[in-house]
Amino acid sequence: MENTINADWGNLPFGYFKTDYNVRCYYRDGKWGKLEISSSEYISIHMAATALHYGQEAFEGLKAYRGKDGKVRLFRWKDNAKRMRNSADGIMMAEVPVELFKEAAFKVVEMNARFIPPYGTGATLYLRPLLFGSGPQIGVKPAEEYMFMVFVSPVGPYFKEGFKPVAIEVVRDFDRAAPLGTGHIKVGGNYAASMRPADRAHKDGFASVLFLDAKEKKYIDEAGPANFYGIKDGKYITPQSKSILPSITNMSLEQIAKDIGLTVERRPVAIDELESFEEAGACGTAAIITPIGKIYDRMNDKTIEYGDAAGPVSTRLYQTLRGIQEGEIEDAHEWTTIIKGV
């Protein structure tokens, strides 16, 4: 069987774990160079790089899953490649060709095969593609040089509770993204804006925040680094907003929800509607599905409760998604790609 390192797989945090290699590629003189393999955890860039000064940076997150059959599958990598192109376009960076993204993602998994967590441990190999302006500018303008890289890290679930309901907190005194800003693309700047409210929530014992729409503070936007959904009356309901990051996990759950006979609604979800949901959850590559047990709102000191156990619909969605990712449930929508030879 596969050659694997010794690690406490069942207790891995969602954190950085040093592996053997990463892959890199440089955009210079108007074109992308060849993919390079590196064993260094460091990068050397110009001190006036636009990424450092003006936040010209975007990233992605996807996972490689080891199945019961021993095969390793990447989940919807093409959608990550497209979203990274969209993020690049949004902040005027050189776009990474889909083929280059694929080469990098496959290569980095192959090179770090011994870090792919075994099946059944709950851990997976997280891929972190990164694209940023590496060339110098002092005025605010796009760089002329870019660096694209992918590194990997074996990880456990983002919310340490795993598939157990978490408590989250509504945020009204901070915004993650402006209505016509960059919330819809996966850029680092959005995260900088979310750190203070997230830190407060963690200190107060909440797993995450729930951001509202920046303009009216009336509608649900996102649950920190994850999309939000609610379940009621046989419906999978997820917010529509220009400042939400289009989650590939959420798109997948919408499809799975349809496949299992639920009605899918993507529309503005008023905060007043929260009380009417039978179940609520946060979803994303890192969060997978994290059921939400409680939503606290400090404005009126009110808590909405969904219970201490995951609801039946969330459980079914979770099991179906994991089953597809691990090759145990038929992949009817061709979401997974097997990485051969690892």
Ligand X SMILES: *Cc1c(COP(=O)(O)O)cnc(C)c1O
The answer to whether the CB of 213 falls within 8 A of the CB of 219 is: yes
- The least CB distance from residue 56 to ligand X, in Å, is 17
Q: Is 197 in the site for ligand X (CB under 6 A)?
A: no
Q: Is 165 helix (H, G, I), strand (E, B) or coil?
A: coil
Structure tokens at 285: 């590559």
Q: Is 135 in the site for ligand X (CB under 6 A)?
A: no
207-246 mask for ligand X (x: CB under 6 A)? ---------------x--xxx-----------------x-
- The least CB distance from residue 187 to ligand X, in Å, is 9
Report CA 154 to chain centroid distance, whole Å: 15
Q: How many CB atoms lie within 10 A of CB 91?
A: 21
Question: Residue 340 and residue 342: Cα distance in Å, rounded?
Answer: 6
Structure tokens at 122: 């709950």
Q: Is 258 helix (H, G, I), strand (E, B) or coil?
A: helix
Distances (CA, A) of 110 to 116, 202, 243, 325: 10, 36, 35, 18
Residue of 249, 290, 320, 325 interacting with ligand X (CB under 6 A): 249
Start-to-end CA span in the chain (Å): 10
Instruction: Tell me whether residue 239 or residue 284 sits nearer to ligand X (CB atom).
Output: 284
Structure tokens at 208: 């995450």
How many of the chain's residues bind ligand X (CB under 6 A)? 13
Of 107, 186, 218, 235, which residue is the catalytic one? 186
Instruction: Tell me whether residue 13 or residue 70 sits nearer to ligand X (CB atom).
Output: 13
Q: Provide CB contacts within 8 A for 31, sequence distance 6+.
A: none
Instruction: Tell me whether residue 22 or residue 247 sits nearer to ligand X (CB atom).
Output: 247
Residue of 35, 52, 61, 270 interacting with ligand X (CB under 6 A): 61
Q: Is 129 in the site for ligand X (CB under 6 A)?
A: no
Q: Is 336 in the site for ligand X (CB under 6 A)?
A: no
- The least CB distance from residue 249 to ligand X, in Å, is 3
- The least CB distance from residue 300 to ligand X, in Å, is 26
Where would I find the H helices in 204-311?
248-259
Interacting residues with ligand X between 72 and 111 (CB under 6 A): none
Question: Residue 300 and residue 318: Cα distance in Å, rounded?
Answer: 32
The answer to whether the CB of 246 falls within 8 A of the CB of 190 is: no
257-296 mask for ligand X (x: CB under 6 A)? ---------------------------xx-----------
- The least CB distance from residue 76 to ligand X, in Å, is 8
Residue of 22, 153, 182, 247 interacting with ligand X (CB under 6 A): 247
Q: Is 136 in the site for ligand X (CB under 6 A)?
A: no
Report CA torsion sign: 273, 279, 282, 283.
negative
**203 is an active site residue:** no
List interacting residues with ligand X (CB under 6 A). 61, 186, 222, 225-227, 245, 247-250, 284-285
